[in-house]
Amino acid sequence: MGQVFDALPEATSRPAVVGLGTGTMACYNKPGQQLTFYEIDPLVESIARDDNLFTYLRDCPGEENVVLGDARLSLADAPDGEYGIIVADAFSSDAIPVHLMTREAIDLYFDKLQSDGVLLMHISNRHLELEPVLGNVAQDAGLACRAQYDQENESTPGKFVSHWVMMSREDGDMGSMTDDARWSSCATEPDSAVWTDDFSNLLSTFVW
């Protein structure tokens, strides 16, 4: 996340995040900016706003807005071109919200992104390899797609290995990250069908 927010200050001045969690993403906000969270569970917002538990929403700069409800339904109500970046960080442990990573979901995200906007998806998983799924969707949609498997966590306390996919309409919309060796072209699986609202195949993504 830090790499993207550093490299794309214009796009990230209009951020939206799918999945509130404890509210840590609010700390990527800047004074004077508003970050919109889309969160399905009202209890999660209550926990994130409980100062006895977490203080990110209280202490981080800028303003935040939490929209409760299923992210796809709520995002559909947002104006087209509203955001510079959408971050999908809604996976809970190893549970996969398939409806947030289908071709139709990706189309929706890009409807809500400005013309040079960027989609960032957190796909860390111990048992499933999801990068080719999104690589196939991006290829089918004619989008640029890059991925990073960040394993450099030994010198940073509290940092875990993570896997991210980034998409944009054009390579140039990713700014300096197109030349960043940490981000490589997304893997694809030519023999697998593109995931849609009517078709997905979790079994094919298992790391046996």
* Residue 93 pLDDT level (bands cut at 50, 70, 90): low
Q: What is the mean pLDDT of the chain?
A: 93
The arithmetic mean of pLDDT across residues 169-187, rounded, is: 95
CB 85 within 8 A of CB 117: yes
pLDDT value at residue 64: 94
Is the model's pLDDT at 116 over the cut of 70? yes
Q: Which domain holds residue 149?
A: 2-205
Distance CA 194, CA 192 (A): 7
pLDDT value at residue 160: 79
Provide φ and ψ at 65, rounded to 5°.
-125, 130
Task: List the CATH number of the domain containing 165.
Answer: 3.40.50.150
Residue type, 35: L
- How many domains is the chain built from? 1
Residue 187, CB-side half-sphere exposure with 13 Å CA sphere: 13
**89-93, 98-102, 114-118, 125-129: least confidently modelled range:** 89-93
